[in-house]
Amino acid sequence: MEGIRSSTRSRDLLRKIKEFTLSILEALSEGRSPLIFIQSFRTYCTNLDSICSCRSNKPSGHEILTFQKESHVHRIDVLLRVLLIVQQLLQENKHASKRDIYYMHPLIFSDQSVVDRAINDICILLQCSRHNLNVVSVGNGLVMGWLRFFEAGRKFDCINSPNTAHTIPVLVEDVKDLSFRWLPHADLVSAALYILVVEKESVFQRLENDKFCSKNRCIVITGRGYPGVPTRRFLRLLMDKLSLPVYCLVDCDPYGFDILATYRFGSMQMAYDAKFLRVPQIQWLGAFPSDSENYDLPKQCLLPLTIEDKRKTEAMLQRCYLHQEVPDWRSELELMLQRGTKFEIEALSVHSLSFLSEVYIPSKIQEIKSICQV
């Protein structure tokens, strides 16, 4: 995405790091504590009384780190150490994971979460994304279907094998020549018509086994649970370049819903970067509580919501975006809580293994299309 400009980006960041350090030194040499001003971001709030600005990408507040507060001292120590490591990474043009960074000083850092927070703070201070710092995440996603691109010399091509799964590239910068059009002959043009995001690997496997992409011209992605940063960036890249409709298929349970919300609104953890990671156009394909009647789900497949599930659902219902942006999502979630039951996508395969590929998904997509046309 920033490809060619990455070296200028690095130089920029290195300069900012120097400036930041100088400002701290200046403060110290004048005998006062440096004040480190860190903005806070969030993807949602639970203040339902007024219209909030959570989607405006503006900070929701700030904190000021200072040596005068004992609780801040360790945090500043960690921040500076991580900053030093980041500087090295940028200077040597190397990449490291958050875990690698933790291992540089495991006894001082004491926990991975401490490092994670420092990295987030640095991103906010330097006004950049995590990957700009050369900090990478583990890749975990899979993609298959009508897509063609190059990644670091490897060609991912659907031409002969739309049903072959590939790992989603870890460094989205490496993705080049993205195309979803296939021209086997000059006069024939085929293209992907939509992107389907599925929560679980097992559902991805089902679609693979059913050769879903041979019969449906689409791209299928899974983040294998809560999507990691590479998966979210990749999906965002596809959206930016291809502008296709995106449908999301999750289990009808609180965690499925949370995953859907992560794709759509971003995660709290990465709130400062949400504008680059979220996909606002993503639509909830299923599964809905109402699907259990509409698709004849046997009662045994409806599992009861646990106390944890109920707590989580109640907490999620307080999120501002459920009242402002997507009130229709809220009514489904309320229905789930009311009924006190949940079910997984696999339950839809009970009557027939090909039910998901041949009936459920196509009919759901048709439903969404007809609503949009009204």
Catalytic residues: 103
- Contact between 198 and other proteins by CB under 8 A: the answer reads no
- Contact between 192 and other proteins by CB under 8 A: the answer reads no
Q: Report the DSSP pairing between strands 246-249 and 218-222.
A: unpaired
- Contact between 91 and other proteins by CB under 8 A: the answer reads no
Angle between helix axes 229-242 and 254-265 (nearest 10 degrees) is: 50
* Nearest residue (CB) to other proteins, 168 versus 316: 168
d(CA 315, CA 73): 33
CB burial readout 297-306, b (16+ within 10 A) else e? beeeebeebe
| Part of the chain binding other proteins (CB under 8 A), chosen from 4-12, 120-128, 151-159, 286-294 | 151-159
- Contact between 346 and other proteins by CB under 8 A: the answer reads yes
The only residue of 100, 325, 334, 358 in contact with other proteins, by rule CB under 8 A: 100
The only residue of 349, 358, 359, 368 in contact with other proteins, by rule CB under 8 A: 349
- Contact between 136 and other proteins by CB under 8 A: the answer reads yes
* Nearest residue (CB) to other proteins, 18 versus 99: 99
Least distance CB 325 / other proteins (angstroms): 32
d(CA 246, CA 235): 9
> What are the structure tokens assigned to 236, written together?
């965002």
d(CA 9, CA 6): 5
- Contact between 97 and other proteins by CB under 8 A: the answer reads yes
Farthest-apart Cα atoms in the chain, separation: 75
* Nearest residue (CB) to other proteins, 34 versus 256: 256
x/- mask, other proteins, residues 201-220, rule CB under 8 A, reads xx--xx--x-----------
Nearest to 195 by CA among 220, 178, 172: 220
d(CA 130, CA 228): 13
| 249-308 binders of other proteins (CB under 8 A) | 298, 300-301
- Contact between 151 and other proteins by CB under 8 A: the answer reads yes
> What are the structure tokens assigned to 199, written together?
């929560």
Least distance CB 265 / other proteins (angstroms): 26
- Contact between 138 and other proteins by CB under 8 A: the answer reads yes
Least distance CB 156 / other proteins (angstroms): 10
Nearest to 136 by CA among 166, 111, 112, 100: 100
CB 248 within 8 A of CB 283: yes
CB 230 within 8 A of CB 168: yes
Residues that bind other proteins (CB under 8 A): 92, 94-97, 99-100, 102-108, 136, 138-139, 142, 151-155, 157, 160-161, 164-171, 174, 201-202, 205-206, 209, 230, 298, 300-301, 344, 346-347, 349-350, 353-354
